Amino acid sequence: MTRLVLCAGTTRTAEIDGISAAGADPELMIHTPSADSEILTYGRTVRSPVVPVSPTGCPTPAVVTRAVVERLGLETTVVDAGVAEPTGAPTVTVGANAGDDIREPDPVPSAPGAFAAARQFGRALPDDELFVAETVPGGTTTALGVLTALGEVDVLGPAGDAAEAGVVSSSLPENPLGLKREVVAESLAASGLSPGDAAGEPTVALRRAGDPALAVVSGLAAGALETDTAVTLAGGTQLVAAAACLRHGGYDRRLSLATTSFVAEDPSIDLDRAADGLELSVTVTDPGFTDDHPAMAAYNAGEAKEGVGMGGALALAERASVPMADVRSGVRDVYDRLLAEADREVPAL
């Protein structure tokens, strides 16, 4: 059996102006992982007061993943990887707390413990195959932080350096790479680390320059690999960073990454290089979005790109021979339901 596990967490790094598009408003973005978890589980929001849409109206990729989940009857599980607002989705606890801004000296003290608990959970799950996904606004910046701490990229090198430019994507059409470099440089400085100082020590990188969701993704995948469960990292930049954590942690088993065509076509990430360097077998799926629907047009314009396991879900749909036209029709259904629910009134008690 295949299970999609969503690791939902937060980092205050997302509050830095201009860093993320995961939510219409920076003040509402903190609800995004909780809302994504509900949309994945129920197909609509339940407790979250907001439906995550970008400033231009692009809905969360949870809409796409949910559409596939409904078509395939896929099993899903949400892990609380540091949500900061209540969610109505059932969540598994692994001791992760919301992450602080990585420019603080110890932004994710719960990372080592959450990694260990997630690893035990990953070992114990009964499935043959896990797809591991994330929702964490600001996560491409913390991913860059982790990759830098591990020595996979050098943000202190010359701007535009191929070794850095090819690594992190963005939920924004214009990737604020310069800003991310600055934030990561400050992060490492605050922890007294130089690039590469955490090589071979993924939990140090996760704790000092990462976020709790990335720690949980990495721990879960580690445990699953130890028990011969097939692992697909379902996502883009952040899942590449998780792969780096696994390789640096000595996990050398076969590892797959499934992402969207929007990430694969993003010039700011070189998937082939990541695949070679980290020995990942990469699957890229194009949902064939058309411009006749606002949700799909926004993706075609470069927004969102990936998240909440979207690329993994699309790969599973393709493997099950579900036509992409059916997936697109499901996306329309889930989107319409979400907008209808956004108007629903929940009376106070």
Q: Which is nearer to a copy of itself, 42 or 290 (CB)?
A: 42
Residue listed under structure tokens 């035990």: 120
- Which residue ranges make up the site for a copy of itself (CB under 8 A)? 42-44, 46-47, 73, 77-79, 86, 88-93, 116, 119-121, 123-126, 346, 349
For 13-18, the CB contacts below 8 A with 24+ separation are: 13/99, 13/101, 13/102, 13/103, 13/107, 13/138, 13/141, 13/142, 13/183, 13/211, 14/136, 14/137, 14/138, 14/141, 15/101, 15/138, 16/101, 16/138, 16/141, 16/179, 16/183, 18/176, 18/179
Q: Which is nearer to a copy of itself, 126 or 250 (CB)?
A: 126
Q: What is the DSSP string of 43-102?
A: SS-SS-S---B-TT-PBPTHHHHHHHHHHHT-EEEEEESS-SS--SS-EEE-S--PBPPT
Min dist CB 62 to a copy of itself, Å, is 15
Q: Which is nearer to a copy of itself, 58 or 338 (CB)?
A: 338
Q: Looking at the DSSP assignment, which residues form a beta bridge with residue 78?
A: 6, 91
Min dist CB 264 to a copy of itself, Å, is 31
Q: Which is nearer to a copy of itself, 118 or 188 (CB)?
A: 118
Q: For residue 228, what are the contacts with CB-CB under 8 A and spacing of at least 6?
A: none
Q: Which is nearer to a copy of itself, 89 or 298 (CB)?
A: 89
Min dist CB 330 to a copy of itself, Å, is 15
Q: Which is nearer to a copy of itself, 174 or 346 (CB)?
A: 346
Q: For residue 143, what are the contacts with CB-CB under 8 A and spacing of at least 6?
A: 168, 210, 214, 237, 238, 240, 241
Min dist CB 13 to a copy of itself, Å, is 25
Min dist CB 8 to a copy of itself, Å, is 11
Min dist CB 139 to a copy of itself, Å, is 21
Q: Looking at the DSSP assignment, which residues form a beta bridge with residue 280?
A: 255
